Amino acid sequence: MASSSFSLYPSLTLVAFLLLLFPVRRTAGSCYTSIFSFGDSITDTGNLLLSTGDNCLSGRLPYGETFFGRPTGRFSDGRLIIDFIAEAMGIPFLPPSLRGGSCGGFRRGVNFAVAGATVLNNGFFKERGIDVTWTNMSFGVQMGLFKKLISFCDTESKDTLSRSLFLVGEIGGNDYYQGFLQSWPFQEVKSLVPHVINTISTAINDLIGMGAKTLLVPGNFPIGCMAAFLTYFENSKVEDYNTSTGCINWLNEFSEYHNNVLKQELNRLRYIHPHATIIYADYFNSVMNILSPANSTRLDRVPLAACCGSGGGRYNYSESVNCGSEYSTVCDDPLTYLSWDGLHFTEATYKAIAKGLLEGPFADPSINKACSSSNIGFVVKELTSNVSKVD
């Protein structure tokens, strides 16, 4: 694949992403002994690659080049949010569930997330006349696989789950993405939100009923800042764009609507499950903080263009030339970019988000604070350099 020094804006200096250089911390005597994860491509550590093989772009370079030096099925140049959380907890990178293995291999956790997964099952979209071309591993299917694993592997599952951290998402973005791609009216896409939130809520109830005590539930990203959506909905209407960030206002308002409904539901679940800790992960404001003019660690402009993409256009994104395809190009330094391939972020961005979840202020409560309130306690020290890159 050809390489390019394509850049829409001047490169950021080291200071611009200073927060990314702060080490992610790990625990000593962590109160979480394992992590179980569900979601889509934001969290997938290889499930789609295992199910599709050579047809999966995330199985080709430059995916994985920054940290792993090879593609691993992650839709980024390196580690994901879940990887940084696992490192901080002293837990190995989560194996994708489709890899299989013995029950003992899942004692530290497993990742059920699959790129392209929706919250709503495929039948929901087929009934609405959408030709389903993505994975059949919806959130409900992932939950079913998790329940089978626990039933088969662990006769004391409640004890195991009570000492585990559950990452419930990010998921839901693909449901809305399909509606937007089909040019549904805004209100019709918006009508999906209650269905999505109800399904997430049911899963949280099920997990708590099975013994889960700590759940991290992310909101949606500001999709109006993502290169793919900026390309799809590019227009000359000045009022559609935020003058400070360059993001599309109405798309970000949609993400905020989803997030507000989700937060309301999480408050309801906290009330009926007072002995569980349900943490809201604010992915939206974490990204907006990176883009904000008030952020003293940034320069005048964080590139909204994709680092890896078509090699042209305002946002370096095209449906016909995807990152990892023959004619795609890649920027010289992903550290200076928010977006990796137009729909997913760079390792640098994911690290910043993870730091905000672990230490605040973009998790309510922060993972560290939730851990500190346990009987085991939480002691932080610098991340050691011997974390294996082989997952």
Q: Tell me which residues are annotated as active site.
A: 41, 341, 344
d(CA 52, CA 380): 39
Rounded to a whole number, what is the distance in angstroms from the first to the last CA of the chain? 25
Two structure tokens written together for 195: 């269905």
Other Cβ atoms less than 10 A from the Cβ of 248: the count is 24
354 Cβ contact list (under 8 Å, min separation 6): 24, 81, 84, 85, 88
Rounded to 5 degrees, what are φ and ψ at 332?
A: -75, -35
Cis peptide preceding 359, ω within 30 of 0? no
In the numeric block, the tokens 């901080």 are attached to: 88
d(CA 109, CA 123): 30
Contact call for residues 256 and 193 (beta carbons, < 8 A): no
d(CA 342, CA 309): 7
Please report, for the chain, how many H helices and E strands are present, in that order: 14, 10
The number of residues making up the chain comes to 391
152 Cβ contact list (under 8 Å, min separation 6): 103
Amino acid at 313: G
> What H or E segment, with its residue span, contains residue 277?
strand 277-281
d(CA 3, CA 43): 26
Contact call for residues 363 and 281 (beta carbons, < 8 A): yes
Question: In 208-245, which positions are buried (b, 16+ CB within 10 angstroms) versus exposed (e)?
Answer: bebbbbbbbbbbbbbbbbbbbbbbbeeeeeeeebeeeb
